[in-house]
Amino acid sequence: MEIKIDRDTLLKGISRVQGILEKRSHMPILSTVLLTTKVDELEISATDLEIGFQNSYPVEIIKPGSITISGKRLFDITRETDSKNIYISEKENNWIYISDNNAHYNLSSLPADEFPVLTEPEDTVMIEIDSKVLAEMINKTIYSITMEEAEFKLSGVFMERINKDGEDFLRMVGTDGHRLSLINKRVPGIEKIEMKDGVMIPKKGLIELNKLSLENGGILFGVKQNNLVAKQRKALIIIRLLDTKFPDYRNVVPAQEEAKQNTVTVNRRSLLEAMKRMMIIRGDQYQTVKMNMGLDYLEMASVNPDLGNVEERIEIKYEGKPMGMGFNPKYFIDTLQSMHSDIVYLNSKDQTSPCLITGDQDDGFLGLIMPMKV
């Protein structure tokens, strides 16, 4: 293979796959990208066997062919040059020559036929979802995924189709056992997607889907043979779904939706900034903010015996009896940062029940945070 390609075009393509490449795999081929010429385009592919991605970019083809090359090395070379074009040529014995007219590189590579084949499942039923809708659903659930490696069943976002008042919705749910985030969106044609009892999308796959959604327009997606397939223009992502059963979350959420006798109405930004100040003296052993709700105020206090304490009072509207509760402020920060509403509502049945967070400008979304002992 022999090609000449615009530096910015190559950098865009190689940058896009850096999150997929395996850095410490026992299979060296997974740290490489596959470059394949297609008529007047260069197809760039990467995979870690759980996620596969490919996209095509304009290129000047001198000699067609396929090569593999270290994804990180190619990224570094492309990023560090100021030249307009980059020349890549395949040499004997799997050596690759790269030049920007100033620096000249000779890099060893692996045979292209060793690269895992990226196979799209046949006859996948695809529907279109607006990229902004998909991005919102991901950003409002991904932060709730557990960070604990042992909790495999919570290591992704659960996606299912639900029916409300005779209308089908796409739902995504994330939880780590201490908090939960859920969002429902109307997606035309969602009834065509085969999800049965729902599917689990791994966090890494969600990150790559979110990158795809940064482009405006529609994204085609479908589910087939334990894979989620997504396409936008010439880009293709294939994500292997997690083989695990998501816990039953419904016995937690409906009870909270019905228990709104204690409702706090508060400015989202005021609450968010106050929670950030509560975090300043937070430590590994002291992660709780105590919240006392009064008629027109919310008192917050955080204590760390090793550092000191912080207190703050913000204005609210409160319908309910005076109540004190303890929460992890980071959970509030994550939830509030994902929202767009100017005003949010906090609902708790009692001091031992979760806090439900909603907002009028965050249609279909709710966040749920479990209380802590104070």
Give residue-wise pLDDT tens across range 54-113: 999 999 999 999 999 999 999 999 999 999 999 999 999 999 999 998 899 999 999 999
Question: How many Cβ atoms sit within 10 Å of the Cβ of residue 235?
Answer: 16
Q: How far is CA 185 from the centre of its chain?
A: 17
Check: CB of residue 51 under 8 Å from CB of residue 238: yes
108 shares its domain with 134: no
pLDDT of residue 7: 94
CA 255 to chain centre: 28
Rounded CA gap, 146 and 157, in Å? 10
Residue 315, helix vs strand vs coil: strand
Residue 233 resides in a domain? no
Q: What would the pLDDT profile of 188-204 be if each residue is shown by its tens digit?
A: 999 899 888 899 999 99
Q: Are residues 365 and 257 in the same domain?
A: yes
For residues 35 and 106, membership in a common domain is answered with yes
Domain boundary residue, one of 114, 147, 182: 114
Domain count, the chain: 3
Confidence (pLDDT) at 237: 95
> Which pLDDT belongs to residue 217?
81
Pair 105, 145 in one domain: no
Assess if residue 124 is contained within a domain. Answer: no
Q: Does residue 350 share a domain with residue 261?
A: yes
Query: Is the same domain home to 102 and 137?
Result: no
Residue 323 within a domain: yes
pLDDT, greater one: 235 or 286: 235
Same domain, 144 and 209: yes
Q: To which residue do tokens 């994500």 refer?
A: 239
CATH of the domain at 138: 3.10.150.10
- Domain holding 336, by residue range, is 253-369
> Mean pLDDT throughout 213-235?
89
* pLDDT at site 363: 93
Residue 227 lies in a domain: no
pLDDT of 367 strictly over 70: yes
User: Of 195, 216, 237, which residue is a domain's last?
Assistant: 216
Q: Is residue 123 part of a domain?
A: no
Indicate the SS3 state at residue 196: coil
Say what percent of the chain tops pLDDT 90. Answer: 67
Report d(CA 140, CA 160) in Å as an integer.
16
358 lies in the same domain as 298: yes
* Same domain (yes/no): 180, 276: no
- The answer to whether residue 336 sits within a structural domain is yes
Identify which of 34, 11, 10, 8 has the alpha carbon closest to the alpha carbon of residue 21: 34
Residues 103 and 165 placed together within one structural domain of the fold: no
Question: Three-class SS of residue 287?
Answer: coil
What's the whole-number average pLDDT of the chain? Answer: 90
Pair 61, 14 in one domain: yes
Reply yes or no on whether the pLDDT at 256 is more than 70: no
Cβ atoms of 186 and 121 closer than 8 Å: no
> 125 in a domain, yes or no?
no
Q: What is the pLDDT of residues 317-363, one digit of tens each?
A: 998 788 889 999 999 999 999 999 999 999 988 888 899 999 999 99
Do 199 and 175 lie in one domain? The reply is: yes
Q: Is residue 236 part of a domain?
A: no
